[in-house]
Structure 1
């Protein structure tokens, strides 16, 4: 459970890992952000509301014990706490940009200031013609509350006071939402997740639809071959994919069956950081981090 941007990737990694271990070994399962609620994460667990993103998943991790949930996927590092509550380990790199309908009125590139003005609904900045695009009233959308992508994007553009023209509602990274099928729409999007969708990792409710990714400050989010651009991911619009655990459980001494199982899956020598795991990260659109960084 956790960040929607990583949901499809985590589902694939869990299936691949589970196929490598005997039934007697602890398995790895991940819950999507969308679906019926409440859920019972594992046998003997409390019934809980399905977390709708990375933020709610971290709250769930903090509110329940290991009998209910062991980890959360997140694209934002938890706040520093002393003594530490959480342990984060790195899985890969992502980036967030803005998207618009193919063939619509939006230009190919906007600056950070442009994005700030658009989401502020600033005077004179509510028509695409003001940014070199076609004439049309801009329709700024944001993902659901609790979305990591929403929080990251707004922080990256300067945390504007949202104007009355901004609409909250579509699920993050779901380009087939009917609200987004509009020539004047603008919507934040995980570049890595979009690449994964373009690579065919889609479902009926997890698809980029007609949305295409656009550049920021003159840097394209994609390379010429359609992969996530490392230069863009190295900018202020780049972010890290984390898996987050309770500090005391990850660092248990002496090691416990739970800490051993967690490290076998998520640690630097675990499956997710193996050559096979890192290849899956890249295949799902994200940038694999160096082996020395993964799982740390």
Structure 2
């Protein structure tokens, strides 16, 4: 039966047989051809990791885990109602934050705590969601006694992308600088643009993030600074790395129309906004860019990555997003030492993956736990552009279940 959402396989657990599941297609399951699939473990959330979780699930083999994309992969509609299990219907969460919110709502968390996100009219019934994909860590919601736990899955990095490659503008963007030692006060040109809204001059060209006309006053060149949609884990991660709390007026999550910023919503890791705006730059997951270049759900639309100069060290060094001969060619995988890196996660209920707990769920643990299903698919993780956590480059290995990554103690 055909499904309009992306579906992922789950491993066979201890001889438990399951229906064969492929991306968008379910075989051997009775029911009308147009019906939604019925799966055991249901996941929602992050755009960043939706494809790699799909791929890793496919590689595992037989199973019934459904990992639902952040937006409808066919119509591109946001927040349409999905029915991933019998007796379950809810608005599709778009991004990490909304995915985690929906997971908590499915855990019967009071609406006053897990408040509905924008356009969420149909909330999930209890038990309808089993995990949420997240491209950011617990952040300020961290609690050593929290009900939920973020389980590390892979390594990612986030850089700047634009529509320029091999021209003078690309050379200037490759010279943007970043100070990793202090997001709030660092003097990198990227921070001065995004955090402070200041003009910066690179190779004789002055860029003004608060100017939209061409030319700007004083002859500056406009630069349009984009961030992904609200609820995006990449959005919150990017803002934190640039020392930004309240989003200032010069940052935009809707596209420039030629007269204002009332165009379509900016989806993370989708180059449409840059294709339509030669003055635009936006954060872009390097792993997602590599994954899309490798033929997985390519939606770059001509987006190209840029280097960042590390001004937090002396002498300054250029940090390239790719391990190949960048920027001459855009080959090679993720540079695992890029200046702005992060772990990506799957979020589940802590007690269900805590061995020895009365509520322990062996099936859930076998998918997300250390040395288990998803973590065993190294070649797939690399194919989708992400790095491995075998050596704990940011402090955790794949599948680690630790109190420091628990969250939402009030739940």
TM-score higher than 0.5: yes
Match in the other structure for 1:32? 69
1:81 is displaced (CA, Å) by: 2.2
Aligned in 2, Cα 1:269/1:179: closer, same or farther, shift over 3 Å? closer
Distance across 2 between alignment mates of 1:223 and 1:81: 36
Corresponding position: 1:147 with 2:232: yes
Mapped contact 2:195–2:243 kept (Cα < 8 A):
no
8 Å contact from structure 1 (residues 14, 29) kept in 2: no
- The answer on whether the counterparts of 2:162 and 2:304 sit within 8 Å (CA) in structure 1 is yes
The answer on 1:92 being equivalent to 2:154 is yes
Larger Rg: 2
What is the match of residue 205 of structure 2?
129
CA distance, structure 1, for counterparts of residue 162 and residue 81 of structure 2: 33
CA–CA separation in structure 1 for the residues paired with 2:201 and 2:224 = 8
Give the CA deviation at 1:180: 3.7
Pick the aligned partner of 2:175 from 99, 109, 113.
109
Find the counterpart in structure 2 of residue 230 from structure 1.
336
1:93-118 C-alpha deviation (Å, 9 max, x unpaired): 00111101124624213112212222
Q: Supply the distance in 1 between the matched residues of 2:84 and 2:334 (Cα, whole angstroms).
A: 32
Contact 1:139–1:185, Cα closer than 8 Å, also in 2: yes
TM-score (norm 1): 0.84
Match of 1:24 in 2: none
Whole-Å separation in 1 of the counterparts to 2:135 and 2:104: 17
Distance 1:62 1:116, change over 3 A: same
Structure number with higher helix proportion: 1
SS class of match (1:29): strand
TM-score, length basis structure 2: 0.62
**Is 2:62 aligned against 1:20?**
yes
1:194 is matched with 289
8 Å contact kept, 1:121–1:162 = no
- Offset from partner CA, 1:273-292 (integer Å, 9 cap, x none): 22xx1111110000022188
Match of 2:302 in 1: 210
**Local SS of the residue matching 2:267:** coil
Match of 2:353 in 1: 250
Q: List runs of 5+ in structure 1 lacking aligned partners.
A: 22-26
2:267 matched residue in structure 1: 171
Distance of 2:372 and 2:66 partners within structure 1: 15
Deviations 1:59-115 (A, max 9, x none): 111111362101111122222225321122221100111101124624213112212
Change (3 A) 1:116 1:161: farther
Which of 327, 337, 343 lines up with 1:240 in the alignment? 343
Deviation at 1:8, TM superposition (A): 1.0
